[in-house]
Amino acid sequence: MPLARRSLIVLLAAAAFAACAPAGAEELRPYTVVGDAIPASLTGTRGDATRGRALVVERSSTCILCHSGPFPEQAFQGDLAPNLSGSGSRWSEGQLRLRLVDAAHLNATTIMPSYYRVDGLTRVGNSWRGKPILSAEQIEDIVAYLVTLRN
């Protein structure tokens, strides 16, 4: 795919989610990376898998702009990234958490947005500068959902 189109999609992805699901003025909570994972919950509690699924499937979340998955209700799904089916078999909860928090930590050239990071981002609009794209609670809800995707 041409680089320009890829960049545009990434930009739209970041913008759409920030516009539709602002995390508010929440301060980033500290977390510890161990190897390729963040083993501990960002909130100290387990997320809600049902809310997590709703967030992933919601078009505004942008996940399915790039990913496909077990979402029969969504006719159009992305083909830029791995199918999310089986994510919970391939990755541990902590690995999934780091992937969502800061995919670029694992792959500096990834097109996947860093959903829980505020520093080091370029092309961030003023209205959401200083805010993560997702809140800690939303990250935990999505992690709780992804770990259920086993095959």
Q: How far is CA 125 from the centre of its chain?
A: 18
- CA dihedral over 29, 45, 20, 10, signed as positive or negative: positive
Q: By CB under 6 A, which span of 23-31, 33-41, 105-113, 124-132 interacts with ligand HEC? A: 105-113
Residue 42 in contact with ligand HEC, rule: CB under 6 A: no
The interaxial angle of helices 49-57 and 136-146, nearest 10 deg, is 100
Among 113, 128, 135, 140, binds ligand HEC (CB under 6 A): 113
Closest separation between CB of residue 84 and ligand HEC, Å?
6
Among 57, 61, 49, 59, which Cα is nearest to 142's?
49
Give the interface with ligand HEC as residue ranges (CB under 6 A). 9-10, 13, 56, 61-63, 65-67, 80-82, 84, 87, 90, 96, 99-100, 103, 107, 110-113, 115, 142, 146
